[in-house]
Structure 1
Amino acid sequence: MTDSKEHRGWIGKLFGGRRTRAERPAPARPAGEDPRAWARPEELVDLSSLPPHVAEDMVATAALIDEADRAREHGHREQAEELLRAAVRSTVDPYRQLAEERLGTLLSENGEVEEAIALWLRAAEGPDPGLRQAVGVHLGSIAFTDAAFLVRADPATVLALLPGAWGAGRLGAAVYQASAHRHRDAPAAVRRHLLALDAARYGDLDLAARIAAVPVPDEPPSRRRVEWASGAQLGGCRWSTPGHADGVSAVAAGTVTVDGRPVVVTGGDDGTVRLWDLATGEPVGEPLADHTGPVLAVATADLDGRPVAVSAGTDKAVRVWDLGTRRLLHAPLTGHTGWVTGAATTTLRDRPVAVTCGHDQSVRVWDLATGEPAGAPMGEPAGPGSAYPHRLAAVVTTVLDRRPVAVTGDFEGTIRIWDLAKGRRLRAPLVTGTGAVEALATVSAGGRPTLVVGGSDGTATLWDLASGAQAGERLAGSAPWPQAVAAVTSGAGPVVVTGDTTGMVRLWDPATGRQTAQAFAGPLGRVRTLAASTADGRPVVLVGTGDGRVHRWDPDTEGPVGRPLPGHGDTVTSVTTIGTDGDTLVVSSAWDGTARLWDLATGAEAGTPFTGSGEPVHGTAAAVVDGRPVVVVAEGGETARLWDPVTAAEAGALDHDADVHAVATTTLDGRPVAVTGSADGLVRIWDLGTGEDLHGPLAGHESGVIAAAVTVLDGRPVAVTADEDTVRLWDPAAGTPIGPQITVAPPAGPGPAADPEDEAPPAVELLATAVVDGRPVLAVGCEDGLVHLRDLTTRAPIGGPVHAAGLTAMATARIDDRPALVTGGDDGVVRTWDLTTLTRSGPDLVLPFPVEALAVAPDGRLVVGFGREVGVFGPADPA
């Protein structure tokens, strides 16, 4: 809060100036001049020279503020508030600005934060820089702790305040930013729900509850409230902005400035080069458009005080841009005969140069001032049997033994070091063994020049450039996907940055090989390119993603905000619930080859995750075997494994001849059984107590089984399985099919009827069963987003199909004692349908990522797998 005595000097100046400056009257100024010009304390003049109404306003406002300060010092807060409310009506700055800051502070202490923030926002536009700084401190902390402000404020206002968040406001700012891409243009009710969810993802359930309780005018109350959620995909980026129409393929963040502002330079698949303000993420000028194909490499340099950028790509030419004038310095530089995939800059013989490489396997050096080649191209023929004889993938420059060198990597995983002064390779090539080289960076590790290599095998490796030896362990990402890399030396020492197709960006300590921080840079595209720099001695990471966005991540030296629950390292594939020792657990599985246990009520990790063989897990189902809970895990590798969630031990294996993609469980004459379907189109019924295949493979499907469910028909258990084209019912006791197969007919389209032989039906993807008015009902979800309902007794369709756009997940439940269908889509929306009326029921549930899996717990809680995360939503508290 601002010390009132600090600004009382203004008021003393005003009153004192009126008394003393009469002896030396200042020149009169035109009466029509902006009154704020008279109001700055450092410019005070004899009041007699001011227009009468301005002088009276100044004196009256100063007197009100002075009296309010004294009233507050004596504990008369109500009187101080009344006086300040009169003062904020002034038309003269900065006294109005001071009154707004004072009144906002008083109101915030009284708990009236929304009005206080409105006053501070007005004061932030005032002329006095000291007051602007003071209210900026309030807005960076107090504003982001106020739930009502987060929900109801104009998103543009909140987003503008994000960079100034500090202290207690950091968590609220992170919560707001996490899904801003989803809620900034959404209604306030959707924003409220997403903010509450993201607060829970950060582990602050109190903030989540306060946000959920904010009333939103003219909006229906939420049907469900978040109880907990994991936070594996939380953001952490300081800003994220739409960049290119297509993916961002190159990024450079050097020390160049344009119009006094440090800038980021990016290249895109749309063929443009763009500039961004490093501090704000705002675009700087219009795109630089001269390339005739995707830009694959960019670099920056200072050319005799002029900021320049080098760009190159699939059109084989190298371009040098004057970033101040936004013009080419030279005609495009030609010489490469293939795509140019790498660009870097350095100094050679006191001249700034660009170094480029490409698919023609040549390394070329260009004088940036003249645009002429600086020496002959460097390169060497490919070895015999080379799969990629002409493909260099990346280049970086550094200094080795006081010599400027370029380091290139190719698609065979080979590293070469080039002496730029002599124009030749410096030593024998280095074979990395990490697959194709995807990206290169250099850093000083332990005082030695070190190369960071991002490989196509999903690892980043460090190499001592002086000795050619590998330095330390491989830095492994969460998946075997190509790694983008960057490196920088910060005040805390060298750091290595990696990113991959999962959207996760990681920070590593090269000395220990340990990950020190991570941020999720998606959420809509994979990491394609990275650059790193420093700001105030701290690392700054720039990320370009496949969705065309550019992100800035500042690894936070103050430590992470919140307490997010850990989660999966890849997309969730299924969620279900299971009872154990009187508690209910959530079981989730993912493509990362794991299954995790969560306490349904609290989200606390319950037991040790299942890891199995490490193959992707397609689904899970729960059962009780000999009084103990068991989870059937359908994973790759032709096996469904039995997992005891209490002991975390494997309790058996159900072997198949192909990958198991579908699993469901039921009881048969009191015995727990599992129904599994595999990629070879076979269905099996297993006794989970003995591990016996009761009937041998059941044939009937013409393609791989992709879904399984169970129900009761005529008082006996029935298994339901589906391939892409048909659905079949099975008697688990006899191991025989029940009736003919069910085929989902394609929807009738406009125009003349199509020949059935020419039009394939939409592929079946999901199954669920329910009981509606005492009838067993089957829901069949297809790739076209339609859910077809069938009466399993008669096989007849029930009504028209339900239109669930982008259908990705489906479950049935009883909600408010009525049968309901719950669907999830790739648009991140959960929708609910009344199965009796086939109409939408209640408001949608919006999530920040695509919905991947759904389940409804016995007590009615909704379990959702979205992206790599898991969340639980209970019924909203009654109003």
Structure 2
Amino acid sequence: MADSEEHRGWIGRLLGGRRTRAERGAPPAPPTDEDRTAWARPWELVDLSTLPPRLAEEMVEVAAAIEAADQARDFGERAEAERLLRGAVTTTIDPYRQLAEQRLGGLLAEDGRIAEGIAVWLRAVEGPDPSLRRSVAISLGAYAFTDGPFLVNADPATLLPLLPHADWGFPRVGAAVYEASAHRHRGASAAVRRELLALDAARYGDRELLARIEAAPVPGEPGPRRHVQWASGAQLGGCRWSVAGHEEGTSALTTTTVDGRAVVVTGGDDGAVRLWDLATGEPVGEPMTGHTGQVCAVAATRLNGRPVAVSAGRDMTVRIWDLAARRPLHPPLTGHTNWVTGAATATLRGRPVAVTCGDDQTVRVWDLATGEAVGTPMQEPPRTAHFFHSRLKTLATAVIRRRPVAVTGDMGGTLRVWDLAKGREFLPPLPLGFGGPELAVVTVDGRPAAAVGVWGAATLWDLAAGRRLGERMLLGRDVQLEVAATTAGGAPVVCTGDHSGMVRLWDPATGQQLSQAFAPLGGTRALAATTVDGRPVVLIGTGDGRVHRWDPATDGRPVGKPTPGHGDAVTAVTTVEVDGTTLVASAGWDGTARLWDLATGEAAGTLAVNPREPVRTMATAVVDGRPVLLTAGGEPLARRWDPATGGPSGAPLAHDGEAGDVDAVATTVLDGRAVAVAGGANGLVRVWDLATGEVLHQPPAGHESDVCAVATAVVDGRPVAVTADESTVRVWDLTSGAPLGGPFGFPPDEPAGEPADAVPDDADEDDELDDDEDEDDDGPCIELLAAAVVDGRPLVAVGRDDGLVQVWDLAARTPLGPPFPAADDGLTAMTVAPVDGRPALVTGGHDGTVRTWDLTTLAQLGPDLVLPLPVGALAPAPAGRLVVGFGWEVAVFGPAESAAPAGSADAPA
């Protein structure tokens, strides 16, 4: 909190002014008693005799109350100070009210009444005195984002507006922690927020904040069931707000102003155009509907002072909307003969126009006032190559040499600049050599430039000169990019996003990344950028229909000390002991396996398995007294690794012949030998001796589709393999390779309503599937297996991708009950872990929820563990720990009854 001497000086001069006139002359008296801010300038000496008596008296009373409160506080009489300040804050005289609010907020915060103090400060930060506003803003950030109980229990609607005030020191880390899972906080209970905030504090490496958050009491709730001990931070960087937007993907974004407030305009796969408050993310009015297919592009401008939007869609129409009235201005504009993929606005001969492009290879101009076409369509030149290359993918407008132009990018990778007045190409085409670029226009040194993103790289081009500006911004992997651009501090910045959901801000002059955020769930589908108060703001539309606001920092200061990790989704986790130290092994879609110290989270090595192929599955074994790590995925083989050295442990185990890629592995001991069981494409299963690499017997056949899951167990004293394809589970004797009994699986799904063989009277056998339908969707499939022994009985849990799980007694070949729903949004991971000394089933879902189940009663044990990203992998670890792979991250949780909060004296080092 800032020193108060300056403001005590105000009061001293004012109280002195009761007895003496100001030597500099008094400020003018107000025309009426009502205007109490026109003359209230405490930094000047006020001649009270020039003021109306009632106002002069109130002014002196407020100043005297603040002075007395300061003295009472200095002498430790805090209750008296609070009484005086509560009276002072009721004054309507500014900025004395603001000064009293600053003092009262500080008094309350120091007494531990953080929420009360912040509520008072929020009024003070709107007051007239700039030095007080700065002081209060510092206090807001310092208390709001470092106090664990307030972070946990405060309404997100209160906390989110405070994020801009936390831009230095410890509060900046707290704000980053809060933003990391802001998309979850809005609808979460305080208990769930506590879990999320603790996990995100661990991801940022702030163990002290983690301890304060986990210790925060939540009224009516026990402490966390599991304590997070450490987590990686590869996928950090959060958004200011995140809201559920369109019923399907959000496919287009722009910003404008409606009725005096900044708004985001979005278009979606559901054909709707929507408005959102840029500051809060709240919806503005009802959706505007009319498009019968995906909205591919939106743009905004003003027409006769009124805000309008242009939307273009797959229904081959262009629509103009009056945003204030939420209605169309004209009937749909038609003329394009294929999908309309790009839209922008411009001014042509003094009148506002819309410019659109499409898969029909044309650029068209429309008068916004009349809805009429302007001129003739501009045509992409014919090519000898495939028609696909000439399809126009994206469009932006600019002014070059005082001429309004349109810039288009086609699927062949060529940028073209069109003269809108003359209806022809204005500059020579710029061939980029890559297909399907995305582009955005930004001004650089007074000249228009195009930020172009395509296949893992973004570049900035001077449109008039046709040359590259600055350095290439390289992502490090070949993925299609969305791109946006704006300015910060007078210099251009470029934003890129890809299907992973990671969004990055770049300095095009150096090619260096400035900051990053992660827009969870669905991948980046659309980007837009603007500037608010001189700082860049990025809007992100994702494939799950959400809209996100990201306020990136551009000064390059690091936030926290996150541990780096995988560069794509984590697909498998397990543990392995090396020279007396337990390590966590994790594998991911980035083609690597990583090793971590279980106790500390310190990196212990990285195995570059195959950067071109994902690692789908992993298992461990002990061979000749040494640990071996087995990885597989994307190849017709399994690889053996020595986790002690990080190098190979023998030649790969080939899954040759007709077996195809290995998609699942498990290990066990057979007659004293460590063996691996692998299942792959075409339904074949192999069993290898891990010491020699020998195939023990011919692959058993029986599965009719790809083997997606493998587990091992012991039934009646015999080691067995349990394997699953999409619809059946089979058990094999590992000694002979012979099947044990017939296949089993889920009971047939009962159709809703009519019998399965019922056919509607009007059905046409020759009807073809709609282009938008998923032709491969044949219903739910088995994807996961987990084996356990409960009260001497061997059990296997069978998990289906629709979230259902059924538990079977392997010896009796009978289910323990009907299938039960273990995940609300797709089952993605499953393991068996001890809980209170008994094996329990742990499941994870695409919605980021981890649940624990009693394998005897099939009842859920304890509350959900909620994570910010989809769960990809689960594994038990010593001392009741649980290893979780979520998104690109790895985390270790300890049980509440045995694990002290991280950062405490009893926490693992």
**Alpha-carbon spacing, 1:257–1:774, altered in 2? closer, same or farther (3 Å):** closer
Gapped regions of structure 2 (runs ≥ 5): 759-777, 901-909
Q: Which residue of 1 aligns with 2:884?
A: 864
Identify the match of residue 764 of structure 1 among 782, 788, 793: 782
Secondary structure of 1:145's counterpart equals coil
Give matches, 1:815-854, under 5 Å: 815-854=835-874
- Alignment-mate amino acid for residue 190 of structure 1: V
**Alpha-carbon spacing, 1:702–1:473, altered in 2? closer, same or farther (3 Å):** farther
**Alpha-carbon spacing, 1:370–1:223, altered in 2? closer, same or farther (3 Å):** closer
Q: Could you tell me how far 1:47 is from its partner in structure 2? A: 13
Identify the match of residue 530 of structure 2 among 504, 529, 533: 533
Q: Which residue of 1 aligns with 2:618?
A: 620
For residues 327-349 of structure 1, the C-alpha deviation after alignment (integer angstroms, 9 at most, x for no partner) is 76666544333332212334555
Q: What is the alpha-carbon distance in structure 2 between the residues aligned to residue 614 and residue 742 of structure 1?
A: 36
Q: Which residue of 2 aligns with 1:600?
A: 598
Q: Which residue of 1 aligns with 2:233?
A: 231
Q: Which residue of 1 aligns with 2:761?
A: none
For residues 57-83 of structure 1, the C-alpha deviation after alignment (integer angstroms, 9 at most, x for no partner) is 9876654432332355xx52x225533
For residues 579-598 of structure 1, the C-alpha deviation after alignment (integer angstroms, 9 at most, x for no partner) is 11221111122223222222
Q: Could you tell me how far 1:744 is from its partner in structure 2? A: 3.4
Q: Which residue of 1 aligns with 2:295?
A: 295
Identify the match of residue 524 of structure 1 among 498, 521, 539: 521
Q: Which residue of 2 aligns with 1:646?
A: 644
Q: What is the alpha-carbon distance in structure 2 between the residues aligned to residue 791 and residue 276 of structure 1?
A: 53
Q: Which residue of 2 aligns with 1:212?
A: 214
For residues 549-568 of structure 1, the C-alpha deviation after alignment (integer angstroms, 9 at most, x for no partner) is 33333331232422222232
Q: Is the CA contact 2:607–2:647 (under 8 Å) kept in the aligned structure 1? A: no
Give matches, 1:237-256, under 5 Å: 237-253=239-255
Is residue 2:584 matched to residue 1:586? yes
Secondary structure of 1:608's counterpart equals strand
Is residue 2:569 matched to residue 1:545? no
Identify the match of residue 775 of structure 1 among 774, 790, 793: 793
**Alpha-carbon spacing, 1:234–1:408, altered in 2? closer, same or farther (3 Å):** same
Q: Which residue of 2 aligns with 1:358?
A: 358
Q: Could you tell me how far 1:286 is from its partner in structure 2? A: 5.8
Q: Which residue of 1 aligns with 2:500?
A: 502
Q: Could you tell me how far 1:571 is from its partner in structure 2? A: 2.2
- Alignment-mate amino acid for residue 658 of structure 1: G
Q: Is the CA contact 2:609–2:615 (under 8 Å) kept in the aligned structure 1? A: no
Q: Is the CA contact 1:246–1:547 (under 8 Å) kept in the aligned structure 2? A: yes
Q: Which residue of 1 aligns with 2:903?
A: none
Q: Could you tell me how far 1:857 is from its partner in structure 2? A: 0.7
Gapped regions of structure 1 (runs ≥ 5): none
Secondary structure of 1:647's counterpart equals coil
Q: What is the alpha-carbon distance in structure 2 between the residues aligned to residue 407 and residue 35 of structure 1?
A: 54
Q: Could you tell me how far 1:813 is from its partner in structure 2? A: 1.9
- Alignment-mate amino acid for residue 149 of structure 2: A
Secondary structure of 1:440's counterpart equals strand
Q: Which residue of 2 aligns with 1:790?
A: 808
Q: What is the alpha-carbon distance in structure 1 between the residues aligned to residue 301 and residue 28 of structure 2?
A: 55
- Alignment-mate amino acid for residue 139 of structure 1: L
Q: Could you tell me how far 1:603 is from its partner in structure 2? A: 1.8
Q: What is the alpha-carbon distance in structure 1 between the residues aligned to residue 147 and residue 50 of structure 2?
A: 42
Secondary structure of 2:201's counterpart equals helix
For residues 612-657 of structure 1, the C-alpha deviation after alignment (integer angstroms, 9 at most, x for no partner) is 2521221100122333322111111212111233333233211123
Q: Which segment drifts farther, 361-370 or 848-857? A: 361-370
Q: What is the alpha-carbon distance in structure 2 between the residues aligned to residue 732 and residue 536 of structure 1?
A: 68
Q: Is the CA contact 1:88–1:96 (under 8 Å) kept in the aligned structure 2? A: no
Q: Which residue of 2 aligns with 1:441?
A: 440
Q: What is the alpha-carbon distance in structure 1 between the residues aligned to residue 390 and residue 726 of structure 2?
A: 43
Tell me the percent identity: 64
Q: Which residue of 1 aligns with 2:140?
A: 139
- Alignment-mate amino acid for residue 671 of structure 2: D
Q: Could you tell me how far 1:196 is from its partner in structure 2? A: 0.7
**Alpha-carbon spacing, 1:797–1:423, altered in 2? closer, same or farther (3 Å):** closer
Q: What is the alpha-carbon distance in structure 2 between the residues aligned to residue 750 and residue 240 of structure 1?
A: 35
Secondary structure of 1:693's counterpart equals coil
Q: Could you tell me how far 1:147 is from its partner in structure 2? A: 0.7
- Alignment-mate amino acid for residue 441 of structure 1: A
Q: What is the alpha-carbon distance in structure 2 between the residues aligned to residue 370 and residue 588 of structure 1?
A: 61
Q: Which residue of 1 aligns with 2:335?
A: 335
Q: Which residue of 1 aligns with 2:560?
A: 562
Give matches, 1:683-832, under 5 Å: 683-746=685-748, 763-806=781-824, 807-832=827-852
For residues 195-218 of structure 1, the C-alpha deviation after alignment (integer angstroms, 9 at most, x for no partner) is 111111222121111100011121
- Alignment-mate amino acid for residue 640 of structure 1: A
Q: Is the CA contact 1:249–1:268 (under 8 Å) kept in the aligned structure 2? A: yes
Q: Which segment drifts farther, 599-608 or 463-472? A: 463-472
Is residue 2:165 matched to residue 1:164? yes
For residues 349-384 of structure 1, the C-alpha deviation after alignment (integer angstroms, 9 at most, x for no partner) is 566544321222221234556655443321146435
Secondary structure of 1:237's counterpart equals coil
Q: What is the alpha-carbon distance in structure 2 between the residues aligned to residue 700 and residue 321 of structure 1?
A: 60
Q: Is the CA contact 1:434–1:459 (under 8 Å) kept in the aligned structure 2? A: no
Q: Which residue of 2 aligns with 1:575?
A: 573
- Alignment-mate amino acid for residue 166 of structure 2: A
Q: What is the alpha-carbon distance in structure 2 between the residues aligned to residue 250 and residue 70 of structure 1?
A: 58
Q: Could you tell me how far 1:417 is from its partner in structure 2? A: 3.2
Secondary structure of 1:824's counterpart equals strand
Q: What is the alpha-carbon distance in structure 2 between the residues aligned to residue 317 and residue 246 of structure 1?
A: 20
Q: Which residue of 2 aligns with 1:203?
A: 205
- Alignment-mate amino acid for residue 181 of structure 2: S
TM-score normalised to the size of structure 2?
Answer: 0.84
Q: Is the CA contact 2:29–2:51 (under 8 Å) kept in the aligned structure 1? A: no
Secondary structure of 2:823's counterpart equals coil
- Alignment-mate amino acid for residue 314 of structure 1: R
- Alignment-mate amino acid for residue 483 of structure 1: L
Q: What is the alpha-carbon distance in structure 2 between the residues aligned to residue 155 and residue 826 of structure 1?
A: 24
Secondary structure of 1:837's counterpart equals coil
Q: What is the alpha-carbon distance in structure 1 between the residues aligned to residue 668 and residue 687 of structure 2?
A: 10
Q: Which residue of 1 aligns with 2:766?
A: none
Q: Which segment drifts farther, 471-480 or 293-302? A: 471-480
**Alpha-carbon spacing, 1:571–1:349, altered in 2? closer, same or farther (3 Å):** same
- Alignment-mate amino acid for residue 525 of structure 1: G
Q: Could you tell me how far 1:688 is from its partner in structure 2? A: 1.4
TM-score normalised to the size of structure 1?
Answer: 0.87
Secondary structure of 1:811's counterpart equals strand
Q: Which segment drifts farther, 109-118 or 853-862? A: 109-118
Secondary structure of 2:161's counterpart equals helix
Q: Which residue of 1 aligns with 2:69?
A: 68
Secondary structure of 1:694's counterpart equals coil
- Alignment-mate amino acid for residue 376 of structure 2: A
Q: What is the alpha-carbon distance in structure 2 between the residues aligned to residue 633 and residue 306 of structure 1?
A: 61
Q: Is the CA contact 1:503–1:525 (under 8 Å) kept in the aligned structure 2? A: yes
Q: Is the CA contact 1:442–1:451 (under 8 Å) kept in the aligned structure 2? A: yes
Q: Which segment drifts farther, 425-434 or 843-852? A: 425-434
User: What is the number of equivalent residue pairs in this alignment?
Assistant: 863
Secondary structure of 2:548's counterpart equals strand
**Alpha-carbon spacing, 1:12–1:798, altered in 2? closer, same or farther (3 Å):** same
Q: CA-atom RMSD, angstroms?
A: 4.1
